[in-house]
Structure 1
Amino acid sequence: MRIAFVFWLVSFHFSFAQRSDFNGISFKKADSVAEVYKGEGLRNLPVLTYNLTAPLDTDVEKFRAIYTWISSNIENDYSSYLKISNKRKRLVNDRQAFLDWNNSMTPQVFDRLLTERKTACTGYAYLVKEMANLAGFKCEIIDGYGRTPTLILKEDSAPNHSWNRIEINNTWYVCDATWSAGQTILEDGNPKFESDYFDGYFFAEPELFAKNHFSINKEEIRLKDTESFTGFIEGPVIYKEAFLAPIIPLSPEKMKVYIKKGDVVTFKLDAPNNINDNNFQLLINTGGRQKTIQPNILRNLNKISLLYRFEKTGLHDVHILIDDDLIATYVVKVKNARY
């Protein structure tokens, strides 16, 4: 049996910008430079950082080469992930103790990085910070929570992820090298990492990033004053494919939706104008039976609404699709109108 766990550890804030700021810049050269140094060791980080950045002209390309190299050359270590996760659970009620322990882990994390090029999210975030700093950038680690389709968070869940913010041209951007690196497959209980670089978490759209990343860094500024951890864990499940467009689920704000039979639910998204509306579909699973339907669609500039009337009672898992890729999941509970 193969079960895929993508360890997307999460959270951020501040007033962040997004990748579209660099639409006029091609990253082909930066990615090519990263490929040239594929397999290089980490014993001399200043030299590796110089080799990755010296051939490039712009700051964003320099950081891109660093990020791509890390996400393509470092293996996600499942055993370290479990060890760190268990420790975080034990310190969940003592934030300062957790932060102190997290900082004390740096030498151990770095030692394994050097010798085996393996790490968990903490190591990815640490390496991004160190190499970015060596290249002259302001870069910081963000600790917090990450939500994935296979990871359910509760109010008392311990922080489970780390990522970075980086300043380019006096503007802050967020990125998650761990989630860009690939996934760990559990095959008959044995973990195996599969490297598969994913570009969506490089300078991700901030509002979308906040859907599955939640920071515990007090000094960071929320996108909305009303944001809370409860709201974060109650939101819809977001899949990585949403980050490519990007497509941002706007409403319903909660994953679980309660309605009466015959009611219409409107799934509202922020989606680029160049996406064909007819590419959106709803995959609805009811009691193990599923069907794909074409909802009624309304668009106003980059805001798109998918409307569907629920005529049967029961529990419905509603998956939003675009070109057969999962974007988000909701759970709609339909009761008889008389109740």
Structure 2
Amino acid sequence: MRSKHNAVRKKQRIRQQKRKKKNRFFLFLTLVGFLLFNHYGNPQWRSHFEDKLTYENIVSFINSFNFRITSLKSLTQEFITEFNGPVVKGDVNSLDKNRFAEIDAKALQVEYSGNSTSELANLLSQYATTEEEKARIIYTWITHNIAYDVVSLNTFMNYNIYPDVSVKTVLNTRQTICSGYANLYQQLAKNMGLKSVIIIGYAKGVDYAVGNDNNVNHAWNGVQIEGKWFLLDSTWGAGTINENRFEKNFNDFYFSINPANFIYTHFPENNKWQLLDQPYTRDKFDNLPTISHQFFTGNFELISHTNKKIITNNIVDIILKAPRNLVAIASLQQNEQEVEGQHTFVQRQGEFINIKVSFPHRDNYQLKIFGKEQNDDNNFPFIVGYDIVANNQINQQFPFIFTHFSENNGYLESPFNGQLNPNQNNYFKLRVDNATDVRVFDQSSNNWTTLTRYGNLFTGNVAVSRGEVIVYARFPGDRNFWGLLRYNQ
């Protein structure tokens, strides 16, 4: 009898809870209707309350009814089309990338102002016939026509209110966040006869906290081309966020990206979408260095340090491998501010780039490395970053490097200390390609010392004073001396 009585009481409680929810929702609608009616129907009332109804107050009011969406996963669940068959990784080198420029040009010709994915798919299909062409033209059209909605991102991060990312809204507003990009790609792919999935997981973007992020924060796509699966991210392919503003900048890198490179920034919740023979764990993903797409497009490789965090008691020596036409620079920072002094020294030895780092105090630091082609006149883009814990004070500063040292594959063997021993001999040993004459100039004594040449190797003992000392070189066909290194600054 007691169990029957308890069952009856349980049903009564459930009915009461349902009535309460209905009453709360009815109250919510009534209040909203009351606010809207008075706002538009009574000018005096509207004037009085416009100063009171701030955005934050409205958000707080709505959140009191538990209408928050707290997870990207819960929001996009209805859009995810899981593929239950075998997932076979495609070879990114098998795609005919010579055709991409032609397909991209055709994608830019497609002007569409409606909100129907079937209509848009029909327009795009006129310019693409193969699965490869279809997958590419969708990516190019989306990345050129949909902007990233920074305002909605900030609203979600600050107030936990997620925007409408349905494909109709995305096409109407021409802006969205990651799940909207992924939804649109998936729907267009479906309408054009392609198999595609939305992949949710973790991406190392502006809102990623290593080790502390338990909720998925990003969505991207997989697309099947001729029975093989390829990865893409149209969100990251559309541009970047700089100083809280979206900067449109089409990026080809994030279409059919190599899974071995993609894993540095994108970790799918379902491991099979890593498309790797040996999947990474979340911990391994978190411990990877921060790497940009320019690292991979420049064909840089990590040689010495493959984890993001470096704990050291001494000078750190980092080695990268890179083609000979690439140059690099480094910056030691704390809280996004560069540490004063010459605490990094970058030089090349054959196909390897060596980065030495010293630390003025026992503290935590960030090392940022930048790289580009030697003949590129643009700024150095960021390529890789590390977090360094220095347990000892290594307040050795390095000599300052002039451009001609790097451009001529200069390699210093000694002295590495930027502060030379005064009034005694200092042994200089360095290699400089193409140099015909290398001399050390002591500004205080106005004394020049010529180093002995052995091919591209120059050596010699030099007695210096306490003033600034500069190493100069002369090159064929040029009577001028050019600075290589500067000491005692």
- 2:367 counterpart residue number: 318
2:135 maps to 63
Give the 3 Å change call, closer, same or farther, for CA 17–33 of structure 1 in structure 2.
same
1:95-139 Cα deviation digits (max 9, x unpaired): xxxxxxx9xx8x753342132122111010011111111111111
Matches of 2:116 and 2:298, distance apart in 1: 37
Alignment length (residue pairs): 295
Aligned to 2:340: 289
Secondary structure at 2:263 match in 1 = helix
Provide Cα deviations, 1:122-164, integer angstroms capped at 9, x if missing partner.
0100111111111111110000111036743333442110000
Show the counterpart of 1:165: 222
Q: CA deviation at 1:280?
A: 3.0
Unaligned runs of 5+ residues in structure 1 are 1-8, 91-101, 300-304
Quickly say closer, same or farther: Cα 1:25–1:128, change in 2 above 3 A: same
Amino acid at match of 1:75: A
Deviations 1:9-55 (A, max 9, x none): 9xxxx6634543225532122111111114x1242322321222323
Q: What does residue range 106-121 of structure 1 map to in structure 2 within 5 Å?
A: 109-121=166-178
The DSSP-based 3-state class of the residue aligned with 1:64 is: helix
For residue 254 of structure 1, give the secondary structure of its aligned residue in structure 2: coil
Matched, 1:330 2:386: yes
> Is 2:205 the partner of 1:133?
no
Are the aligned partners of 1:200 and 1:243 in contact in 2 as well (CA < 8 Å)? no
Match of 1:267 among 313, 319, 333: 319
Q: Equivalent residue for 1:94?
A: none
For residues 236 and 274 of structure 2, the distance between their equivalents in structure 1, rounded to whole angstroms, comes to: 23
Alignment of 1:23-38 (within 5 A): 23=96, 25-38=98-111
Secondary structure at the residue paired with 1:26? helix
Tell me, in whole angstroms, the C-alpha distance in 1 between the residues paired with 2:226 and 2:350. 38
State the TM-score, normalizing by the size of structure 2. Answer: 0.53
Tell me how far 1:82 sits from its aligned partner.
4.1
Take 1:150 and 1:29, find their aligned partners in 2: how far apart are those partners?
Answer: 35
Provide the rounded CA distance (Å) in 2 between the counterparts of 1:15 and 1:289: 51
Q: In structure 2, how many angstroms separate the alpha carbons of the residues matched to 1:199 and 1:46?
A: 25
Q: 5+ unaligned residues in a row in structure 2: which ranges? A: 1-71, 73-86, 373-379, 395-489
More RCO (CA 8 Å, sep 6+): 1
Task: Provide the rounded CA distance (Å) in 1 between the counterparts of 2:274 and 2:136.
Answer: 25
Q: Tell me if 1:276 matches 2:317.
A: no
Give the aligned partner of residue 99 of structure 1.
Answer: none
Task: Normalising by structure 1, report the TM-score.
Answer: 0.74
* Residues in 1 aligned to 2:271 and 2:389: alpha-carbon distance in whole angstroms: 36
Secondary structure of 1:204's partner?
coil
Q: 2:121 aligns with which of 49, 55, 59?
A: 49
Counterpart residue number, 1:93: none
SS at match of 1:294: strand
Helix, strand or coil at the partner of 2:210? coil
Between the aligned partners of 2:278 and 2:157, the Cα distance in structure 1 is 29
Q: Using the TM superposition, give the Cα deviation of residue 250 of structure 1 relative to its aligned residue in structure 2, in angstroms.
A: 6.0
Residues 180-208 of structure 1, C-alpha deviations (whole Å, 9 max, x = no match): 1123444xxxx543322111111112111
Deviations along 1:209-266, whole A, 9 cap, x unmatched?
Answer: 100001112554663646221221222111232343454546522111122324x534
Separation in 1 of the partners of 2:88 and 2:227? 12
After TM superposition, give the deviation of residue 327 of structure 1 in Å: 0.8
RMSD value, Cα: 3.3
Cα distance in 2 between the residues matched to 1:265 and 1:150:
30
Matches within 5 A, 1:210-221: 210-217=263-270, 219-220=272-273
| Cα pair distance change 1:113/1:284, threshold 3 Å | closer
Is the contact between residue 284 and residue 316 of structure 1 (CA under 8 Å) also seen in structure 2?
A: no
Residues 144 and 162, structure 1, Cα contact 8 Å, conserved in 2: yes
Query: What is the SS of the residue equivalent to 1:71?
Result: helix
Q: Distance in 1 between matches of 2:238 and 2:289?
A: 24
Q: Deviations over 1:295-330 (max 9, x none)?
A: 34454xxxxx43344455645533232222211111
AA paired with 1:306? I
1:25 is paired with a residue whose SS is helix
Partners of 2:145 and 2:284 lie apart in 1 by 35
Letter paired with 2:347: P
What one-letter code is carried by the residue in structure 2 that aligns with 1:208? N
Q: Is contact 1:42–1:113 with CA below 8 Å preserved after alignment?
A: no
The one-letter code of the counterpart of 1:200 is: F
- Between the aligned partners of 1:69 and 1:231, the Cα distance in structure 2 is 34
Find the aligned partners of 1:326 and 1:51 in 2 and give their Cα distance. Answer: 38
Asked whether the equivalents of residues 235 and 253 of structure 1 are also in contact (C-alpha less than 8 Å), the reply is: yes
SS in 2 for 1:211: coil
Q: Residues of 1 paired with 2:270 and 2:114: CA distance?
A: 29
**1:185–1:312 distance in 2 versus 1, CA, 3 Å:** closer
Name the CA distance, whole Å, in 2 between partners of 1:259 and 1:18: 39
**Mapped partners of 2:131, 2:279: distance in 1:** 34
Letter in 1 for 2:294: E
